[in-house]
Every structure is written in C-alpha cells, then in structure tokens.
Amino acid sequence: MDSPLRLEVIVASVRPGRFAPVVADWFLRTARSDARFDVGVIDLLHIPLPTDLSETPEVAAYRERLAAAAAFVVVTSEYNHGYPASVKTALDTAKHEWRAKPIGFVGYGGLSGGLRAIEQLRQVVAEIHMVSIRESVSFHQAKRAFDADGETKDGAAIDAAQRMLGQLAWWGRHLRTARTTDPYPS
Ligand SMILES: Cc1cc2nc3c(=O)[nH]c(=O)nc-3n(C[C@H](O)[C@H](O)[C@H](O)COP(=O)(O)O)c2cc1C
C-alpha cells in the first residue's frame, strides 16, 4: 500500500469566540480515522502570517509544512458572502508549495452553510494550480448542527465528508506520483 498522504487541515477563522474548533475537531476526528491520511492542523489563529506578505521565520516554517503536504482541506466560515481574509493571506503567502495538489473544503455558517465562501475559494485555488475537490461538506445553522460533545447527526455532512476524503485520496495519490515522475510544468 502507498504511504499515507500528508493532509494539512487549515482552520480559517481567527475570530475571538469563534465556532471553528467545533467543526474543525469533528472533521479532524473523521480524517484521522482514515488510514489513507497522516493529518496535521494549520490553525491560522496560531500561525501569524503578515497580511503584507513579508517574509518572517513563521512564514518560512509555514511554507515548509505546505511543501511537505500532499493534500489540503480548508475549514472555513462565511463572512458577508465571502471567505475570511485570513484564508486569502494564507493562500497568497505561498506559491510553488500549492501546485498540482488537491484541496477540499468544509464550510459552515448561517443560512448558506459556507457554500458561497467555498465557491469563491475554488476560483482562487485554480489560480495557484490546485485541484479543488468536487464534493464539499457544508453545515448551515452550524451551531445547531453539533451537540455538546461536538458530534453531529447531520447525515448529509457525514456522507459528504466520506466522499470528499475518497476524492481527496484519489487525487492526492495520483498527483503525488505524477509530481515525482513527471514534474508539473509551471
Ligand atoms: C462578520 C460576519 C459576517 C457573516 N456573514 C455571514 C454570511 O454571509 N453568510 C452566513 O451564512 N453566515 C454569516 N455569518 C455567520 C457566520 O458564518 C457564523 O457566525 C460562523 O459561526 C462564523 O464562524 P466562526 O465563529 O468560526 O468565526 C457571519 C458572521 C460574521 C461574524
């Protein structure tokens, strides 16, 4: 069997009192129970990335982590029909490290369930030569979708997470091989 794919889960919200950890922890438990992945977390609250895109030791370490990863998932809230600014900075802070790698999305929010944020992110990740995974996970009225233990009974989301991980593993595996045998033309 192939070695597990290094999957970095990027947590977007950096807001005080954010709901993000509930959604992110649920997804992390799901992903970590899947032997196809070796899962890490990049919580943007704890990784200071300058919005002016200047170079810092933290930026260098962040880019090294991206370079070592074979797949990504962004756990994103939706603010005013868009994605949080922290994610844009996170995407703009690297370049070659993203290329020819797959990225999936877990969105949450009020009425929209983060779907508008996700669709906007697809445009951005295409520009940085990533493959966006078709299946995405969405929680509308997110705070009602989880119980006090951080578990959800939202069958559609549970099913979507499994499908998304399956597609992410497929792309991750094939693109990892392809990057080695036939370097991506940039
Ligand atoms: C500034 C702001 C704008 C928001 N805009 C939307 C929106 O356009 N669509 C939506 O579904 N939810 C919206 N919400 C609700 C958030 O998605 C919801 O509060 C979510 O829990 C935020 O994630 P966080 O707590 O992890 O930061 C907004 C919340 C904030 C704070």
Q: What distance in Å separates the CA atoms of residue 8 and residue 6, rounded to the nearest whole number? A: 7
In percent, how much of the chain has pLDDT > 70? Answer: 99
Protein residues with CB under 6 Å of any ligand 1 atom: 13, 15, 18-20, 77-81, 109-112, 142
Which pLDDT score is estimated for 1? 57
In percent, how much of the chain has pLDDT > 90? Answer: 98
Average pLDDT over residues 26-38: 98
pLDDT single digits (tens) 75-103: 999 999 999 999 999 999 999 999 999 99
Which residues contact residue 146 at a Cβ distance below 8 angstroms, ignoring those fewer than 6 apart?
Answer: 22, 23, 26, 139, 152
How far away, in angstroms, is 85 Cα from ligand 1 center?
A: 13
Domains of the chain: 5-180 (3.40.50.360)
Q: What distance in Å separates the CA atoms of residue 157 and residue 138, rounded to the nearest whole number? A: 6
Q: What distance in Å separates the CA atoms of residue 103 and residue 101, rounded to the nearest whole number? A: 7
Average pLDDT over residues 33-56: 97
- Per the confidence metrics, is the pTM higher than 0.85? yes
Are the beta carbons of 94 and 124 closer than 8 angstroms?
A: no
pLDDT band for position 2 (cuts 50, 70, 90): confident
- Per the prediction, the chain carries an average pLDDT of 97
The answer to whether the Cα torsion of 137, 5, 64, 28 is positive or negative is positive
Mark 103-115 as b/e (b = at least 16 C-beta within 10 Å): bbbbbbbeebbbb
pLDDT band for position 186 (cuts 50, 70, 90): confident
Report the Cα 169 to chain-centroid distance in Å: 14
Q: Which atom of ligand 1 is nearest to the CA of 142?
A: 21
pLDDT single digits (tens) 140-180: 999 999 999 999 999 999 999 999 999 999 999 999 999 99
> Atom 11, ligand 1: which residue's CA is nearest?
110
Count helices and strands in the chain by DSSP H and E runs:
6, 6
